[in-house]
Chains A and B, each alone.
Chain A
Protein backbone atom coordinates (compact mmCIF):
# COMPACT_ATOMS: atom_id res chain seq x y z
CA UNK A 1 0.00 0.00 0.00
CA UNK A 2 1.20 3.47 -0.83
CA UNK A 3 2.45 5.76 1.90
CA UNK A 4 -0.22 8.15 3.19
CA UNK A 5 0.36 11.87 2.61
CA UNK A 6 2.16 13.70 5.41
CA UNK A 7 -0.86 16.04 5.56
CA UNK A 8 -3.18 13.10 6.40
CA UNK A 9 -2.79 13.07 10.18
CA UNK A 10 -4.87 12.76 13.34
CA UNK A 11 -6.24 16.00 14.77
CA UNK A 12 -9.16 17.38 16.79
CA UNK A 13 -10.92 20.74 16.47
CA UNK A 14 -13.19 22.00 19.25
CA UNK A 15 -15.77 24.66 18.37
CA UNK A 16 -18.69 26.03 20.45
CA UNK A 17 -21.11 23.73 18.55
CA UNK A 18 -19.11 20.58 19.24
CA UNK A 19 -16.11 18.47 18.24
CA UNK A 20 -14.63 17.51 14.88
CA UNK A 21 -11.93 14.84 14.75
CA UNK A 22 -9.91 12.87 12.22
CA UNK A 23 -8.28 9.79 13.70
CA UNK A 24 -7.01 6.28 13.10
CA UNK A 25 -9.59 4.72 15.44
CA UNK A 26 -13.16 5.50 16.50
CA UNK A 27 -14.86 4.73 19.82
CA UNK A 28 -18.58 4.94 19.05
CA UNK A 29 -19.75 4.96 22.67
CA UNK A 30 -17.32 7.71 23.64
CA UNK A 31 -18.48 9.83 20.70
CA UNK A 32 -22.14 9.39 21.73
CA UNK A 33 -21.31 10.18 25.35
CA UNK A 34 -19.55 13.38 24.28
CA UNK A 35 -22.84 14.98 23.13
CA UNK A 36 -24.89 13.98 26.18
CA UNK A 37 -26.42 16.78 28.23
CA UNK A 38 -29.32 17.07 30.69
CA UNK A 39 -30.95 19.60 28.35
CA UNK A 40 -30.94 17.13 25.44
CA UNK A 41 -34.05 15.00 25.04
CA UNK A 42 -32.82 13.41 21.82
CA UNK A 43 -29.59 12.07 20.34
CA UNK A 44 -29.30 11.05 16.67
CA UNK A 45 -26.31 8.92 15.67
CA UNK A 46 -25.07 7.92 12.23
CA UNK A 47 -22.44 5.20 11.92
CA UNK A 48 -20.99 4.57 8.46
CA UNK A 49 -19.44 1.12 8.18
CA UNK A 50 -17.35 -0.74 5.60
CA UNK A 51 -19.49 -3.31 3.78
CA UNK A 52 -18.37 -6.90 3.16
CA UNK A 53 -18.27 -6.42 -0.63
CA UNK A 54 -14.78 -5.03 -0.14
CA UNK A 55 -11.65 -6.39 1.42
CA UNK A 56 -11.34 -3.05 3.16
CA UNK A 57 -11.12 0.68 2.65
CA UNK A 58 -8.21 3.07 2.79
CA UNK A 59 -8.96 6.68 3.72
CA UNK A 60 -6.78 9.75 3.55
CA UNK A 61 -7.55 13.35 4.45
CA UNK A 62 -6.14 16.82 4.05
CA UNK A 63 -6.65 17.06 7.77
CA UNK A 64 -6.21 20.80 8.38
CA UNK A 65 -8.58 21.75 5.58
CA UNK A 66 -11.07 18.93 6.23
CA UNK A 67 -11.43 19.99 9.88
CA UNK A 68 -12.18 23.57 8.81
CA UNK A 69 -14.66 22.38 6.19
CA UNK A 70 -16.51 20.12 8.65
CA UNK A 71 -16.54 22.91 11.26
CA UNK A 72 -18.30 25.14 8.71
CA UNK A 73 -20.74 22.30 7.97
CA UNK A 74 -21.54 21.85 11.68
CA UNK A 75 -21.98 25.61 12.23
CA UNK A 76 -24.25 25.77 9.21
CA UNK A 77 -26.35 22.83 10.44
CA UNK A 78 -26.64 24.32 13.91
CA UNK A 79 -27.88 27.64 12.56
CA UNK A 80 -30.20 26.28 9.87
CA UNK A 81 -32.10 23.63 11.82
CA UNK A 82 -35.44 25.01 12.88
CA UNK A 83 -37.34 24.11 15.98
CA UNK A 84 -39.94 21.37 15.86
CA UNK A 85 -43.52 22.55 15.78
CA UNK A 86 -44.51 20.79 18.99
CA UNK A 87 -42.20 22.96 21.05
CA UNK A 88 -44.12 25.38 23.30
CA UNK A 89 -44.63 28.76 21.66
CA UNK A 90 -42.85 30.53 24.50
CA UNK A 91 -39.68 28.50 23.85
CA UNK A 92 -39.89 29.02 20.08
CA UNK A 93 -40.09 32.76 20.70
CA UNK A 94 -37.01 32.73 22.86
CA UNK A 95 -33.79 33.32 20.96
CA UNK A 96 -31.74 31.94 23.85
CA UNK A 97 -32.66 28.25 23.51
CA UNK A 98 -30.46 26.55 20.92
CA UNK A 99 -32.08 24.05 18.55
CA UNK A 100 -29.05 21.76 18.86
CA UNK A 101 -27.13 21.01 22.01
CA UNK A 102 -23.94 19.44 20.66
CA UNK A 103 -22.53 17.85 17.47
CA UNK A 104 -19.62 15.45 17.24
CA UNK A 105 -18.21 14.39 13.86
CA UNK A 106 -15.40 11.82 13.74
CA UNK A 107 -13.89 10.48 10.52
CA UNK A 108 -11.36 7.71 10.34
CA UNK A 109 -8.20 7.67 8.20
CA UNK A 110 -5.93 4.78 7.27
CA UNK A 111 -7.12 1.25 6.57
CA UNK A 112 -10.64 0.39 7.74
CA UNK A 113 -11.39 -3.36 7.80
CA UNK A 114 -14.83 -4.77 6.89
CA UNK A 115 -17.45 -4.17 9.59
CA UNK A 116 -15.69 -1.26 11.25
CA UNK A 117 -16.99 2.33 11.27
CA UNK A 118 -15.37 4.95 9.06
CA UNK A 119 -17.53 7.88 10.19
CA UNK A 120 -19.57 8.56 13.32
CA UNK A 121 -21.85 11.59 13.68
CA UNK A 122 -23.66 12.24 16.97
CA UNK A 123 -26.05 15.16 17.41
CA UNK A 124 -28.05 16.00 20.51
CA UNK A 125 -30.98 18.40 20.71
CA UNK A 126 -33.85 19.26 23.06
CA UNK A 127 -36.31 17.50 20.72
CA UNK A 128 -35.96 14.64 18.23
CA UNK A 129 -36.62 16.36 14.92
CA UNK A 130 -33.68 18.75 15.01
CA UNK A 131 -31.10 16.06 15.79
CA UNK A 132 -32.36 13.79 12.96
CA UNK A 133 -32.37 16.62 10.43
CA UNK A 134 -28.99 18.03 11.48
CA UNK A 135 -27.34 14.59 11.56
CA UNK A 136 -28.41 13.83 7.98
CA UNK A 137 -27.49 17.31 6.74
CA UNK A 138 -24.03 17.04 8.29
CA UNK A 139 -23.45 13.60 6.74
CA UNK A 140 -24.51 14.68 3.25
CA UNK A 141 -22.41 17.85 3.42
CA UNK A 142 -19.35 15.94 4.68
CA UNK A 143 -19.66 13.48 1.78
CA UNK A 144 -20.03 16.37 -0.67
CA UNK A 145 -17.37 18.76 0.63
CA UNK A 146 -14.89 17.40 3.21
CA UNK A 147 -11.36 16.92 1.81
CA UNK A 148 -11.31 13.17 2.50
CA UNK A 149 -10.79 10.36 -0.01
CA UNK A 150 -11.23 6.59 -0.02
CA UNK A 151 -10.30 3.70 -2.18
CA UNK A 152 -11.75 0.24 -2.01
CA UNK A 153 -9.76 -2.96 -2.09
CA UNK A 154 -11.64 -5.94 -3.47
CA UNK A 155 -10.74 -9.54 -2.71
CA UNK A 156 -8.03 -10.73 -5.09
CA UNK A 157 -7.34 -7.29 -6.53
CA UNK A 158 -3.86 -5.86 -6.81
CA UNK A 159 -3.69 -3.01 -4.29
CA UNK A 160 -1.71 -0.85 -6.70
CA UNK A 161 -4.63 -0.80 -9.14
CA UNK A 162 -7.28 0.11 -6.54
CA UNK A 163 -9.16 3.17 -7.75
CA UNK A 164 -9.93 6.26 -5.69
CA UNK A 165 -13.68 6.78 -5.39
CA UNK A 166 -15.75 9.90 -6.07
CA UNK A 167 -18.95 10.61 -4.12
CA UNK A 168 -20.44 12.85 -6.82
Chain B
Protein backbone atom coordinates (compact mmCIF):
# COMPACT_ATOMS: atom_id res chain seq x y z
CA UNK B 1 0.00 0.00 0.00
CA UNK B 2 1.20 3.45 -0.83
CA UNK B 3 -0.20 6.70 0.54
CA UNK B 4 0.35 9.74 -1.60
CA UNK B 5 2.26 12.56 0.10
CA UNK B 6 0.11 15.25 1.65
CA UNK B 7 -0.29 18.22 -0.65
CA UNK B 8 2.21 20.99 0.04
CA UNK B 9 0.76 24.16 1.52
CA UNK B 10 1.98 27.58 2.60
CA UNK B 11 0.72 29.83 5.35
CA UNK B 12 -0.09 33.37 4.29
CA UNK B 13 -0.30 36.25 6.76
CA UNK B 14 -2.24 39.38 5.81
CA UNK B 15 -1.65 42.67 7.60
CA UNK B 16 -3.21 46.13 7.55
CA UNK B 17 -4.85 47.00 4.20
CA UNK B 18 -4.34 43.45 2.90
CA UNK B 19 -6.32 41.96 5.79
CA UNK B 20 -9.13 44.52 5.68
CA UNK B 21 -9.47 43.99 1.89
CA UNK B 22 -10.28 40.28 2.25
CA UNK B 23 -11.46 40.04 5.88
CA UNK B 24 -8.77 37.53 6.83
CA UNK B 25 -5.47 37.71 8.69
CA UNK B 26 -4.15 34.19 8.04
CA UNK B 27 -4.86 31.22 5.81
CA UNK B 28 -3.25 28.11 4.44
CA UNK B 29 -3.31 27.59 0.69
CA UNK B 30 -2.27 24.56 -1.39
CA UNK B 31 0.66 24.80 -3.78
CA UNK B 32 0.94 23.27 -7.25
CA UNK B 33 2.98 20.04 -7.06
CA UNK B 34 5.86 21.74 -8.90
CA UNK B 35 5.98 24.56 -6.36
CA UNK B 36 5.21 28.20 -7.01
CA UNK B 37 7.43 31.09 -7.98
CA UNK B 38 6.92 33.86 -5.43
CA UNK B 39 6.60 36.27 -8.34
CA UNK B 40 3.39 34.41 -9.33
CA UNK B 41 1.81 34.47 -5.87
CA UNK B 42 0.19 37.88 -6.36
CA UNK B 43 -1.81 36.70 -9.38
CA UNK B 44 -2.80 33.50 -7.56
CA UNK B 45 -4.11 35.49 -4.57
CA UNK B 46 -5.83 37.99 -6.84
CA UNK B 47 -7.70 35.15 -8.54
CA UNK B 48 -8.76 33.81 -5.12
CA UNK B 49 -10.05 37.23 -4.07
CA UNK B 50 -11.30 39.03 -7.18
CA UNK B 51 -12.83 42.49 -6.81
CA UNK B 52 -11.74 42.90 -3.17
CA UNK B 53 -9.11 45.59 -3.49
CA UNK B 54 -6.40 43.02 -2.65
CA UNK B 55 -4.87 43.38 -6.11
CA UNK B 56 -4.30 47.10 -5.56
CA UNK B 57 -2.77 46.47 -2.12
CA UNK B 58 -0.42 43.82 -3.52
CA UNK B 59 0.87 46.29 -6.13
CA UNK B 60 2.47 48.41 -3.38
CA UNK B 61 3.33 45.61 -0.94
CA UNK B 62 6.45 43.54 -0.37
CA UNK B 63 6.75 39.86 0.61
CA UNK B 64 8.41 38.22 3.55
CA UNK B 65 9.19 34.50 3.55
CA UNK B 66 9.94 32.76 6.84
CA UNK B 67 10.39 36.09 8.63
CA UNK B 68 12.83 37.55 6.12
CA UNK B 69 12.02 40.39 3.73
CA UNK B 70 12.38 39.38 0.09
CA UNK B 71 14.33 41.85 -2.07
CA UNK B 72 13.71 40.13 -5.41
CA UNK B 73 10.62 37.84 -5.67
CA UNK B 74 11.87 36.41 -8.97
CA UNK B 75 14.64 34.57 -7.08
CA UNK B 76 12.32 32.70 -4.68
CA UNK B 77 10.35 29.49 -5.28
CA UNK B 78 7.88 28.28 -2.67
CA UNK B 79 7.97 24.52 -2.13
CA UNK B 80 5.67 24.09 0.88
CA UNK B 81 5.77 24.82 4.60
CA UNK B 82 6.78 28.46 4.21
CA UNK B 83 5.24 31.32 6.18
CA UNK B 84 4.66 34.05 3.61
CA UNK B 85 3.43 37.51 4.62
CA UNK B 86 2.01 40.39 2.62
CA UNK B 87 3.83 43.49 3.90
CA UNK B 88 1.97 46.68 2.90
CA UNK B 89 3.77 50.04 3.27
CA UNK B 90 4.50 50.38 7.00
CA UNK B 91 3.21 53.10 9.33
CA UNK B 92 4.68 52.50 12.77
CA UNK B 93 5.83 55.19 15.19
Which residues of A approach B to under 8 Å, CB–CB? 2-8, 48, 59-62, 64-66, 68-69, 107, 118-119, 139, 142-151, 163-168
Question: Do residues B13 and A166 form an inter-chain contact, with CB atoms below 8 A?
Answer: no
- The total of interchain contacts (Cβ-Cβ below 8 angstroms) comes to 90
**Residues A7 and B20 in contact in the complex (CB < 8 Å), given A48-B93, A62-B87, A147-B64:** no
How far, in whole Å, are A60 and B90 apart by their CA atoms in the complex? 10
Question: Do residues B93 and A65 form an inter-chain contact, with CB atoms below 8 A?
Answer: no
Question: Mind listing 18 A-B residue pairs with CB under 8 Å?
Answer: A2-B19, A2-B23, A4-B25, A5-B15, A5-B25, A5-B26, A7-B26, A65-B64, A65-B68, A68-B67, A107-B92, A118-B93, A143-B90, A148-B90, A149-B16, A149-B90, A149-B92, A166-B89
Within B1-39, the residues touching A (CB, 8 Å) are: 13-17, 19-20, 23, 25-26
Contacts of A64 in B (CB 8 A): 67
For B71-93 the 0/1 string (1 means CB < 8 A from A) is 00000000000000101111111
Q: What is the interface of chain B mostly: helix, strand, loop, or mixed? A: mixed
Contacts of A107 in B (CB 8 A): 92
Which residues of B approach A to under 8 Å, CB–CB? 13-17, 19-20, 23, 25-26, 64, 67-69, 85, 87-93
Question: Do residues A148 and B91 form an inter-chain contact, with CB atoms below 8 A?
Answer: yes
Q: Which of B13, B69, B92 contacts A148 (CB 8 A)?
A: B92
